[in-house]
Amino acid sequence: MQEILAKVKQVNGVPVLASVVAAPDMDHLRSMVDMLRDKMGTGVILLGSVAGEKVNLVAAVTKDLLGRGLHAGNLVKEIAKMVGGGGGGRPDMAQAGGKDPAKLQEAIDKAVSVVEGQFK
């Protein structure tokens, strides 16, 4: 967990964590996001994993940041397009899937710029 937390970047004073992780399914990925959100206290989290031939993505935005234009559903939808998929969800938590595991790292790397574009 510490090596994942070491990847946090600051965007407009907000901690943003985007990482590829090993998670066998969407439930594990959601659990990891919940644990990281609890540890960070405030921030935006996007985790992606490969399960078989599929890509799973989960995004979260802590409640204190929702008034600043940040939206987990919009973030995950934008990133999912890059891995040949789709998805969405609530402003505070969202998930998506994709079909192109080879593009996952590239998509995760783009998360910071997507978050930058969401700020009001």
The CATH number given to whatever domain includes residue 55 is: 3.10.310.40
What CA–CA distance (Å, rounded) separates 120 from 116? 9
pTM over 0.75: yes
CA distances, 110 to each of 23, 24, 103, 107, 114 (Å)? 20, 23, 11, 5, 6
Name the residue range of residue 87's domain: 2-118
Instruction: Count up the domains in the chain and report the number.
Output: 1
57-107: pLDDT as tens digits: 999 999 999 999 999 999 999 999 999 999 999 999 999 999 999 999 999
